Structure 1
């Protein structure tokens, strides 16, 4: 028998509901108006309709007759990004599935989909976070034609799913289902990949050896298999009930993957505004769904990037959620999954051990998730505590049972760690996130002189020169959203890991990001206020003692910051298109609010 809702979960949920009262009411009023304004195409002029139907070929007569719902497909397909390569052929298949239930489907539009793995350490990374806003805007453009009774979102990776959700929530009167394509098969063991990276950082492996190792890991279509932001996205879509249950980690090209895709089309056609089971996206994504997403993030040790994405996604639905909420939930939600980089196995191993069905079942039984959310499935979140399979060619769901590998998945009663490993640290250096789930507890406190840097290249140069061979807090500043778009600083991880392995006490403090691949080095990331404009990090000097402690929640220095003049703001960089993102940098809000220019300008 399930336990009653956990006291902390209830308390945080009620606080979020209260803080969101006015904004949530305004949002629900918006989507009600949109349903009235965009819900009946009989009032649309024949010329407009003709333009919309002209390219529909064999679906023209069905569109003219308006016998069934018309589904808008928003796709983030490109074949440079491995996770999105399978989407190339999806629209043709989805249209066939729509016809099976008397519906039609059209590609409403496309969005960009950049790969943070390709842009790591390169100037293109400075466009990455703001690509989320561009994706949201592109989604809004796609759905603005008032031709659709529902929508399918084809996207998986880091900024793509948050952007698709933020954009589609502005059309929250439409039922909307997210359709993943699944992870690539497992490659070389993750520990081997990590070993070669550190050898290369020390100059003990060649570039050819490093490339061979990396291609042994990232080797075919599908999502990268480590539990970074992309796979954390898929986990959260399950926790929010926005997938067909169990869809997240089924590999591309399999019969089961195709059956789930087919079910997504059939289901979105069945939950439209003219059905008896209307399930609009804006009603599905409410305060409880956002809390569920946060709980899933904590229970699985997911990406730190979602400390930024969750508040932004929540705001798009009129929900106010911040780092106090996330940190308080973290104290109550145990870590029940260990997936690389927190553990040795990848998302395929995780799925085979019980995956999201096991996680959701455990959380529900322990009173650590809201069962009574409106999902895109046939019921509530209980549907997501099972795993999909095929009985001959029929799609079925089965009970998951016990974990098949307790090195990856454990019950709530016997977790890997008693808390969710996402802690708020704060002090006279600002507020930041510390992901403890991948860091040995003995390293949760670091107090050492700091060394100040303003870019990753300078850190790498100092490391190679031996200047960091000591106890040190590496501060990388002017990496916030308004400074340069808040790039991921994941390339710092191997060098800092080497210093730690040499026996030094090492920590990172930055107003930049470290991504879902952040690992064993203690780090205070997303520091806000950012350094640009005189934030606390701009007042630090080389040699200042800095204290970072996940146990006490400290992020501080003994230096008299009030007596100092901040370091000058760096001049904005140009090239790689960065100059045309000036508006987004200028209007971006803080990391804790979601680091979004679009939401700020829109007054959300």
Structure 2
């Protein structure tokens, strides 16, 4: 395969930058992997405790027959529509494991909060840090240390990165992620957004808005827009950590249970005619696999949250990446999909057009993914350019087969690399005297890529909403919302700002958002410079901005600047985080329990990690 020179150069730079850290990581992995298996290594009382709760036949297999024992880490709860289908998965896994002469135990559960429920509430200030709590919970589950492999059950925003970070700290285990799939399409995402904008203007009441939301979010499965949760699934496919093509098969599909059984067969190395020893996840996830995930994110206009999460994921594997790496890849990776908010299609339409398999095949063919990587399947990453097909009733022995995802079944949703929607990816790095930030340009109209307007400074998203309701923003304006970074209040997502800003833009005003908070994959069509680093609470330049300062956001040149004379800007004293806001951020709904995480959090560009 003819590798694109930029992909090769970025990968090599990451490899060199990470050499010492990665070498130490792999050495620790090898030392752990070379130990005796758990039931042979542990004391008799330890082993007895480990198997006390399982059926006698399973005890015999684990202890006497030395059968493989799979640890299941599940994010099941029925507060998340995406995770509700996981309720019955452990029984499916255990049944299939027994059929294959192995065993499986639920090693533990991890918390999984729904950002859709907590959006705009104090609970949202725990959301980002829940990723590291999930990573630690994964470690608690796997530290029982009785497992020969792991299956990880999770889909949504912080859950997949947290599970992956935790698994990489147990990098000696072969590991497969098991998805649950998106809900069937309800009210279209664009229609839902229109109702939200009307509600922001007072044109639709609470009952009308509630009716629309419940038509959009109506049953089990992942939300159907291409936000962080569905971006997670795309990236796991590109990393070779799923059964190929399973990301967007709906929970009610006849294939779903069979694909879960296939995950058991895969992690045990029995999914192919020839036996295959699945590599430990820590060996699989190297710098090439991380770059493959980055390329897939860019090619699909995925969630900006992954410019935080995948920095942390890479770091867990001893790999160092930064926003420059994303930016350079974005310059050469074409945009191959239009999925809401980058287009009108939802993920079900994306799947029908060819889904992740189509994108992976196109990127491999264009030399924009590494084809020589390890995956959970013997056929390598090329297998992930396919989609699964079930020809008949699996209870009657009908096998799963895989067919090529290409060609696209809908060029309005997924296009080949030779005819992309855009020659460059959907993300852009901005830098200047306001710091470093990112913008998702794939959903922003071309005539809004450059905004220059006076600033209006807010200390919270509630303050901006109040100003909008009062009619104070009916003009060209750059709304600066600060004190929203990891150290200030846990870096919540600010989705409540999308409807009012969209209304202002729809009226013809030139508006933009600049914030040290997050907007993820649902930032919409309004230009938003997000994740500004360093954050205001850490002495970042957003703390120096005042109402009326002229700000220029230029996504073409890649700059974010306040247009003031340098000496005046340098002399200006930064504002301090207001005491009342600090106190409000620190307590209530469990926020005081996360004070240590706020104190220790690294910058957004460093993954907002709290464990380093």
Match of 1:569 among 577, 581, 585: 577
Please say if 1:414 is aligned against 2:419: yes
Please name the residue that 2:242 is paired with: 243
Please say if 1:551 is aligned against 2:556: yes
Please name the residue that 1:457 is paired with: 462
* CA distance 1:546–1:271, shift in 2 (3 Å): farther
Please say if 1:110 is aligned against 2:118: no
Please name the residue that 2:512 is paired with: 507
Please name the residue that 1:468 is paired with: 473
Structure-to-structure mapping, 1:9-48, within 5 angstroms:
9-37=7-35, 39-48=37-46
Deviation track 1:397-423 (CA, whole Å, cap 9, x = no partner) reads 012231111110001111111110211
8 Å CA contact 1:540–1:561 kept in 2: the answer is no
8 Å CA contact 2:278–2:377 kept in 1: the answer is no
Please name the residue that 1:199 is paired with: 198
Please name the residue that 1:90 is paired with: 89
8 Å CA contact 1:72–1:148 kept in 2: the answer is yes
The 2-side partners of 1:278 and 1:503 are apart by 55
| 1:448, distance to aligned residue in structure 2 (A) | 0.7
Please name the residue that 1:584 is paired with: 597
Structure-to-structure mapping, 1:289-368, within 5 angstroms:
289-368=289-368
| 1:93, distance to aligned residue in structure 2 (A) | 1.1
The 1-side partners of 2:38 and 2:112 are apart by 32
Please say if 1:430 is aligned against 2:435: yes
| 1:39, distance to aligned residue in structure 2 (A) | 3.6
Please name the residue that 1:532 is paired with: 537
The 1-side partners of 2:597 and 2:461 are apart by 22
8 Å CA contact 1:83–1:223 kept in 2: the answer is yes
The 2-side partners of 1:189 and 1:488 are apart by 22
Structure 1 unmatched runs, 5+: none
Please say if 1:174 is aligned against 2:173: yes
SS in 1 for 2:520: coil
Structure-to-structure mapping, 1:126-275, within 5 angstroms:
126-270=125-269
| 1:558, distance to aligned residue in structure 2 (A) | 2.2
Deviation track 1:316-364 (CA, whole Å, cap 9, x = no partner) reads 0001111000000000000000101111110000001111111111111
Tell which deviates more after alignment, 535-544 or 387-396: 387-396
Structure 2 unmatched runs, 5+: 393-397
Please name the residue that 2:395 is paired with: none
Tell which deviates more after alignment, 63-72 or 140-149: 63-72
8 Å CA contact 2:302–2:426 kept in 1: the answer is no
Q: TM-score, normalised by structure 2?
A: 0.96
Deviation track 1:517-563 (CA, whole Å, cap 9, x = no partner) reads 11100010000000003210001111001111011111111233221
The 2-side partners of 1:439 and 1:589 are apart by 29
The 2-side partners of 1:175 and 1:57 are apart by 24
The 2-side partners of 1:38 and 1:248 are apart by 35
Please say if 1:280 is aligned against 2:293: no
Deviation track 1:175-206 (CA, whole Å, cap 9, x = no partner) reads 00000011110001222111101100110001
SS in 1 for 2:34: helix
SS in 1 for 2:538: coil
Q: TM-score, normalised by structure 1?
A: 0.97
| 1:135, distance to aligned residue in structure 2 (A) | 0.1
| 1:277, distance to aligned residue in structure 2 (A) | 2.0
SS in 2 for 1:491: helix
The 1-side partners of 2:350 and 2:166 are apart by 30
Please say if 1:495 is aligned against 2:492: no
Deviation track 1:462-497 (CA, whole Å, cap 9, x = no partner) reads 001111111100000000000000000011000000
The 2-side partners of 1:476 and 1:416 are apart by 32
* CA distance 1:271–1:143, shift in 2 (3 Å): farther
Deviation track 1:562-590 (CA, whole Å, cap 9, x = no partner) reads 21111112324210100110000000000
SS in 1 for 2:107: strand
* CA distance 1:271–1:373, shift in 2 (3 Å): farther
The 2-side partners of 1:473 and 1:500 are apart by 11
The 1-side partners of 2:351 and 2:278 are apart by 31
The 2-side partners of 1:157 and 1:70 are apart by 26
8 Å CA contact 1:41–1:146 kept in 2: the answer is no
- RMSD over aligned Cα atoms: 1.2
Tell which deviates more after alignment, 534-543 or 156-165: 534-543
| Count of matched residue positions in the alignment of Structure 1 and Structure 2 | 595
SS in 1 for 2:512: strand
Please name the residue that 2:98 is paired with: 99
| 1:276, distance to aligned residue in structure 2 (A) | 6.0
Deviation track 1:92-151 (CA, whole Å, cap 9, x = no partner) reads 111001011111000000000001111110000000000000000000010111100000
